[in-house]
Amino acid sequence: MDVYTYSEARQHLTKVLDRAQKDGAVHIRRRGGAVFQVTPVTLETSPLDVGFVSVRLTRDEIVAAVRESRAAK
């Protein structure tokens, strides 16, 4: 695990965050000796969270497609 000084972390924040993303965590040491850990946060998303799909269908076409798929069973 990499350890950066406060000044290094401030000057190279993008590099520090990229390293935390890659390795899971980095440490930042302050002048007084206190050490802090920076870790990436993984946001959970729903498997049902899908993007918008643009289809130019009328209401009647959608209803007909649903009825057809139900009748096929």
User: Domains along the chain?
Assistant: 3-71 (3.40.1620)
pLDDT at 70 (0 to 100): 93
Whether residue 28 contacts residue 35, with contact meaning beta carbons closer than 8 Å, is answered with yes
pLDDT in tens, 23-36: 999 999 999 999 99
Is the model's pLDDT at 49 over the cut of 90? no
> Which of 8 and 45 is assigned the larger pLDDT?
8
Q: What string of H, E and C letters represents the secondary structure of the chain? A: CCEEEHHHHHHCHHHHHHHHHHHCCEEEECCCCCEEEECCCCCCCCCCCCCCCCCCCCHHHHHHHHHHHHHCC
